[in-house]
Amino acid sequence: MTEAQAAEQLPVLFLTEPVVLPGMVVPIELDEAARAAVDAARSSTDDRLLVAPRLEDRYAAYGVVAEIVQVGRTAAGQAAAVLKAGQRVRIGTGVTGPGAALWVETEHVEEGTEDAAVADLASEYRSLVIGDLQRRDAWQVIDNVNRVTDPSALADLSGWASWLTDVQKRQVLETPEVAERLRVLIGWLKDHIAEAEVAEKIADDVREGMDKTQREFLLRQQLAAIRKELGEDEPDGADSYRTKVDEADLPEQVREAALREVDKLERSSEQNPESGYIRTWLDTVLEIPWGTRTEDSNDVSAARAVLDADHHGLEDVKDRIVEYLAVRARRAERGLQVVGGRGSGAVMVLAGPPGVGKTSLGESVARSLGRRFVRVALGGVRDEAEIRGHRRTYVGALPGRIVRAINEAGSMNPVVLLDEVDKLGADFRGDPAAALLEVLDPAQNHTFRDHYLDLDLDLSDVLFLATANVVEQIPQALLDRMELVTLDGYTADDKAAIARDFLWPRQLERAALDADEVTLTDEALAKIVADYTREPGVRQLERLLAKIQRKVATQLAGARATQAVVVDEAALRDYLGRPRFTPESDERTAVPGVATGLAVTGFGGDVLFVEATPTDGEPGITLTGQLGDVMKESARIALSYVRSHAEALGVDQAFLERHVHIHVPAGAIPKDGPSAGVTMVTALVSAATGRNVRSEVGMTGEVTLNGRVLPIGGVKQKLLAAQRAGLTTVFVPHRNEPDLDDVPAEVLEAIDVRPMTDVAEIVAQALEPAAQGASAAA
């Protein structure tokens, strides 16, 4: 090493940026210090000076010897110079020199020997640099890199790398050994390439997403334009649903669930089928009147007046509704009225034959309470999802009928009429009656959960009214959750009053007639009730009244009547034809072996004739008339009782040795139940003794083998049927005597009701005396 190489004095130019490495050509703007250094170099060192980085905490240890290529001005008029960096040197101590510049002593540094390890490092670094440049499509720079063969110069090309920080470049400047410099650069470059690849992948994903978003946006704009041309409304977006949820009066739990679905809608695209399901669900939730409740009328007397004005009779139902309203009024007065409280609702089932006003009573109840009314028809429903709703995973899923009823009512406390609850079916899709257990339980329905909504719905303030024709067909678990109110039908006087006050005026309006144009006499109305209809309700009666008015309207239209038409008893044949129903007990019991019983069907109470006659053949019994198992057992019990008490009953032993045939008309109608037991005993004794059964007598009751008369159901309906059939004496079980309190007074006045405990007493009082029976038979 020569002495010139060992120590050289040069003016110093400190630069904050850029960091200059050997081989770089850089322009710099000349401030006062830089101009002093440049001037000193041009005047004393053959245009050479030392360029070093400016550090905040210390003086730089290394720099580069640079040659001044050109001095001039920039386009903006600022003084500038172009420097070409040469070798790397170590900065020594400061010395004095000409001019205002700072002078230092420089020392040459050894960069290490060039061996195979250095060559391998240089090759690896070169391949990494070229790969990075290829990724950026910098092909011209690649050519320049390939022309550099010196490992040290190749490493110092990093001064041009934009991805290196100034701190990293100063570290490269201060690392004179080539191998170490290459190792550091290789590590940095690998990290940079890895970060660049990740950033590029993210950028590609973002660009692809942006392209897809822009494409969807363009298509959506085109779709909006098409919808606008077609006059169709554009579906609401997620922002619109979020606004609707925020503005809706929703319970906190429901609001949170709705906002979760809105978040899902925001993350899903329009093409995703899930977005359609979410929109439908949100629409359903927003349609439910969560915060809407009607104010109940607390005027008990006014409510009773409404019920009396809409329906005649039905005192039990009216009393129960008024009691319900009175309790609510008192709770409200004392501050105990808690909306959504456990068990605050009421559930009643109105059971009775068709046509007695069960369905229309629901509307009157709603009107008396000041509530909205909605009817849910359950007849023939066999799918459990009809009550609880379908799971949202199913295509075309909908909420159940209960939720839809709440939506239709528009309030959370309507009167909901579950019509024909006894007609529910069950199959492989589930049991709808079981799904109603939670709905109709006042202790549970404050947290009713519909499968579609999957949210708790408070039904505790809903007044549920269910209707049924046959109580026995309602599942016991469901019936246990409801309060049973029985509507057993109307008496003849009730029917006449209903016809006069309700049916006749309604049919006048439908026929476009005035009250002064047609008049129906009381006698004619009574005959219609007695001879033209035989039903517990009034539907057929209303049809007959409508038929009369249609014929009157026809007469008036044809100018055949010039004055008001009066429909009296004599004119009924012209309007309605001959009477359809006449008392037949006299005719049916005119021969021995026929007794008149009483039964309850789905259409109310009815008379039931039991016929018994001995025939040739082996001792035994034949039963006909579509009898059920229970009724067949009653017939066998009756025959066994007659055989075991033949002597006391006056039955000849020869009768017991013959075959007995028992028939219960009408044969096309299925019949079952134990209440015909006493009737069968009476018919058998009548056939055996030849004594007729009194035509005005009817009877009902279950009989045991020792002749005890057991209680039965439907006493009120059976007595109403007896009155319609013209019977005047009815035998009932003694243990049913408390049921007579529910029978209308006019029925008890018209019928001699005799509670009995022994079937032998019934037989003795029901049969005609032996002499009369014999003469009748003769």
Whether 306 and 341 share a structural domain = yes
Residue 219 scores a pLDDT above 90: no
Asked if residue 441 is part of any domain, the answer here is yes
Whether 691 and 735 share a structural domain = yes
Mean pLDDT of 133-153: 81
Residue 229 scores a pLDDT above 80: no
Cβ-based neighbour number of residue 755 at 10 Å: 16
Mean pLDDT of 511-540: 85
Domain coverage including residue 261 = 238-287
Whether 272 and 396 share a structural domain = no
Would you place residue 238 in the very low, low, confident or very high pLDDT band (cuts 50, 70, 90)? low
Residue 338 scores a pLDDT above 80: no
Amino acid type, 253: Q
Residue 276 assigned as binding residue: no
pLDDT at 309: 84
Asked if residue 200 is part of any domain, the answer here is no
Residue 189 scores a pLDDT above 80: yes
| Cα end-to-end distance, the chain, whole Å | 166
Closest CA to 457 of 402, 416, 415, 419: 402
Highest mean pLDDT among 213-222, 341-350, 364-373: 364-373
Residue 246 scores a pLDDT above 70: yes
Mean pLDDT of 723-737: 90
Mean pLDDT of 63-90: 88
Residue 505 assigned as binding residue: no
Whether 626 and 773 share a structural domain = yes
pLDDT at 771: 58
pLDDT at 754: 92
Whether 313 and 447 share a structural domain = yes
Residue 357 assigned as binding residue: yes
Asked if residue 119 is part of any domain, the answer here is no
How many residues are given for the chain? 778
Whether 348 and 435 share a structural domain = yes
Residue 356 assigned as binding residue: yes
Residue 378 scores a pLDDT above 80: yes
Whether the Cβ atoms of residue 421 and residue 362 lie closer than 8 Å to each other: no
Residue 352 assigned as binding residue: yes
pLDDT at 345: 58
Would you place residue 580 in the very low, low, confident or very high pLDDT band (cuts 50, 70, 90)? confident
| CA distance linking residue 494 with residue 57, whole number of Å | 113
Which residues, in sequence order, are bridge partners of residue 72? 80
| CA distance linking residue 184 with residue 176, whole number of Å | 12
Asked if residue 507 is part of any domain, the answer here is yes
Residue 341 scores a pLDDT above 50: no
| CA distance linking residue 418 with residue 467, whole number of Å | 6
**φ and ψ of 707, to 5 deg:** 90, 10
Mean pLDDT of 148-171: 85
Whether 554 and 635 share a structural domain = no
Residue 361 scores a pLDDT above 50: yes
| CA distance linking residue 54 with residue 211, whole number of Å | 46
| CA distance linking residue 639 with residue 646, whole number of Å | 10
Pick the last residue of a domain from 287, 320, 346.
287
pLDDT at 270: 65
Element (H, E) at 67: strand 62-73
Instruction: State yes or no: cis peptide before 666, omega within 30 of 0.
Output: yes
**φ and ψ of 443, to 5 deg:** -85, -10
Residue 508 scores a pLDDT above 70: yes
Would you place residue 636 in the very low, low, confident or very high pLDDT band (cuts 50, 70, 90)? very high
| CA distance linking residue 478 with residue 475, whole number of Å | 5
Asked if residue 422 is part of any domain, the answer here is yes
Whether 528 and 440 share a structural domain = no
Whether 323 and 365 share a structural domain = yes
Query: Tens digit of pLDDT for each residue in 396-441?
Result: 788 888 889 898 888 888 889 988 888 887 766 777 888 888 888 8
Pick the last residue of a domain from 548, 576, 604.
576
Whether 595 and 472 share a structural domain = no
Asked if residue 195 is part of any domain, the answer here is no
| CA distance linking residue 685 with residue 692, whole number of Å | 10
Task: Supply the residues annotated as catalytic.
Answer: 675, 718
Element (H, E) at 632: helix 629-644
Closest CA to 361 of 407, 404, 312, 409: 312
Mean pLDDT of 666-693: 87
Asked if residue 177 is part of any domain, the answer here is no
- Per the prediction, the chain carries an average pLDDT of 83
Would you place residue 235 in the very low, low, confident or very high pLDDT band (cuts 50, 70, 90)? low
Mean pLDDT of 56-82: 87
Element (H, E) at 622: strand 620-624
User: Which residue has better confidence, 266 or 174?
Assistant: 174
Mean pLDDT of 465-475: 86
Highest mean pLDDT among 293-302, 356-365, 680-689: 680-689
pLDDT at 753: 92
pLDDT at 237: 59
Would you place residue 663 in the very low, low, confident or very high pLDDT band (cuts 50, 70, 90)? very high
Asked if residue 44 is part of any domain, the answer here is yes
Whether 448 and 418 share a structural domain = yes
Pick the last residue of a domain from 85, 108, 131.
108
CATH of the domain at 769: 3.30.230.10
CATH of the domain at 558: 1.10.8.60
% pLDDT > 90, the chain: 11
Residues near 593 by beta carbon (within 8 Å), at least 6 away in sequence: 611, 612, 613, 683, 684, 686, 687
Whether 268 and 243 share a structural domain = yes
**φ and ψ of 663, to 5 deg:** -130, 140
CATH of the domain at 428: 3.40.50.300
Residue 292 assigned as binding residue: no
- Strands 346-351, 463-468: parallel, antiparallel or unpaired by DSSP? parallel
How many structural domains compose the chain? Answer: 5
Closest CA to 717 of 423, 354, 361: 354
pTM for this entry: 0.60
Residue 359 assigned as binding residue: yes
